[in-house]
Amino acid sequence: MAPVITTVDDLHKIYRRRVPKMFYDYCQSGSWTEQTFNENESDFSKIRLRQRVAVDMEGRSTATTMVGREVSMPVALAPVGLTGMQHADGEILAARAAEDFGVPFTLSTMSICSIEDVAKRTSKPFWFQLYVMRDEDFVDRLIERARDAGCDALVLTLDLQILGQRHKDLKNGLSAPPKLTPATIANLMTKVGWGLEMAQTPRRFFGNIVGHAKGVKDASSLSSWTAEQFDPRLDWSKIARIKEKWGGKLILKGILDAEDARMALKVGADAIIVSNHGGRQLDGALSSIRMLPEIMDAVGGETEVHIDGGIRTGQDVLKAVALGARGTYIGRAFIYGLGAMGQKGVTKTLEVIHKELDTTMALCGEKNIHDVGPHITLVPKGFAGEWETPARNG
Ligand code: GLV
């Protein structure tokens, strides 16, 4: 009998059994001690909700907009590298599930399925996430390819000029496709369903890179590609150049500081994503949800503020919206669904999250997502201001 799936965690358990260790570990890691990775999730549980009663709950709506796009709930699929290694044709399947559900899908630069592949196999525009490389021509070509594919927003990631160290990826020798060593072969032999599906697709390489970038030595390894190609000189002037080159909606991802949020505003971002890259970059940074109120205070009235990091339930989505986020992104939560059950699994993730969001909103006494605000929450004193930068001595 098929298992009854009621939570994202149910999908996580199936995902873990089904997908090779190397890709499971890639998804389920933060950098170094994983403090930030863990706190992204645990800080959501510190926020409590106010129960309200005797409020008419009929005719509820979670629909809103994110950078002008109508969405059925304030959730987008985050860009996740190597998604096509979690399940054969993963990016295409996830994009289709997002499209059917009425939420945006964001394709990573480091995807397996290429921009053109996803565009050909979907019918609504998706968003494209860009990493800035040293090779400016290559960056410009990626921007043009995204425009030609009809992408209606560019998500520019700012927090990964160099790659944070995730121990498991180094120990596993992470690559796409996996390199065959005694350890990987032994593990792959236990992942028959994954392997049979993967054998039937030609999409097993970084589709936006292989065949498009010049002088690439090892395009199968994320860590060597980042070390060789990502531009460590990325600064606000380069961001302005990219904004001009793109000419469309620009979302800046990886803002975790009020000062950077103000800079993003100055450069003309249509939205920012409060993010620490899912705890995968600067370990020891505060969680995204904890930083949200301060960033809202700095720029909230002037640009859309989105958030990612630690969102695994519809309650997390509601809490982020209550503290001011216009939209949220799920990364791991949709990867669990994808790895567990392909497109159906991503749809399941979205259904679970929508149900949790809608039910919680109702029990908090609200029937329209636009009316949700801090008044529905109870937040520990100092949640946002517990940590401060000490004054310089002497
Ligand atoms: C980026 O692609 C990452 O691995 O976090």
pLDDT, tens digit, for every residue of 54-108?
999 999 999 999 999 999 999 999 999 999 999 999 999 999 999 999 999 999 9
Backbone phi, then psi, for 367, in 5-degree steps?
-120, 0
In a domain, 2, yes or no: no
From the list 352, 346, 343, 339, the residue with the least C-alpha distance to 17 is: 339
174 within domain boundaries:
yes
Any domain includes 384: no
Span 239-265, average pLDDT: 98
Residue 216 predicted with pLDDT over 80: no
Confidence class of residue 217 from pLDDT cuts 50, 70 and 90? low
Q: Which atom of ligand 1 is nearest to the CA of 82?
A: 2
- Please count the CA atoms within 13 angstroms of the CA of 254 that sit on its side-chain side: 15
Report which DSSP code applies to 194: H
C-beta of 87 in contact with ligand 1 (< 6 A): no
Position 321 pLDDT exceeds 70 = yes
Cα 227 to ligand 1 centroid, rounded to whole Å: 13
What is the per-residue pLDDT for 298? 98
Mean pLDDT computed over 298-317: 98
Residue 239: inside a domain, yes or no? yes
Quote the mean pLDDT of the chain. 96
Catalytic residue among 12, 87, 277, 306: 277
Structural domain total, the chain: 1
Nearest ligand 1 atom to alpha carbon 160: 1
Amino acid at 383: F
User: pLDDT tens, 356-393?
Assistant: 999 999 999 999 999 999 999 999 998 988 899 999 87
Structure tokens given for 301: 């009235």
Q: Is residue 387 part of a domain?
A: no
Which is nearest to 340 in space by CA: 121, 176, 94?
A: 94
277 annotated active-site: yes
pLDDT digits (tens, 9 = 90+) for 133-180: 999 999 999 999 999 999 999 999 999 999 999 999 999 999 999 999
In a domain, 383, yes or no: no
What integer is the mean pLDDT of 267-285? 98
Q: Quick one: pLDDT at residue 224?
A: 84
Q: Provide the domain limits for residue 71.
A: 8-378
Q: Is the CB of 280 under 6 A from ligand 1?
A: yes
**CATH code: domain of residue 336:** 3.20.20.70
pLDDT at 215 over 90: no
Residues ≥6 apart with Cβ < 8 Å to 193: 18
pLDDT at site 219: 74
* Rounded Cα distance, 307 and 322, in Å: 12
Query: Ligand 1 in contact with 253 (CB < 6 A)?
Result: no
**How far does the centroid of ligand 1 lie from the alpha carbon of residue 97, in Å?**
22
Q: For residue 128, which of 264, 33, 246 has the smallest C-alpha distance?
A: 246
Inside any domain, residue 204: yes
b/e code 320-354 from CB counts within 10 Å (16+ = b)? bbbbbbbbbbbbbbbbbbbbbbbbebbbbbbebbb
**Rounded Cα–Cα distance for residues 127 and 50 (Å):** 35
Other CB atoms within 10 Å distance of the CB of residue 127:
24
* Residue located nearest, by CA, to atom 3 of ligand 1: 81
Q: Is residue 386 part of a domain?
A: no
pLDDT surpassing 80 at residue 218: no
C-alpha closest to that of 334 among 91, 2, 89, 64 = 91
Q: How far is the CA of 9 from the centre of ligand 1 (A)?
A: 22
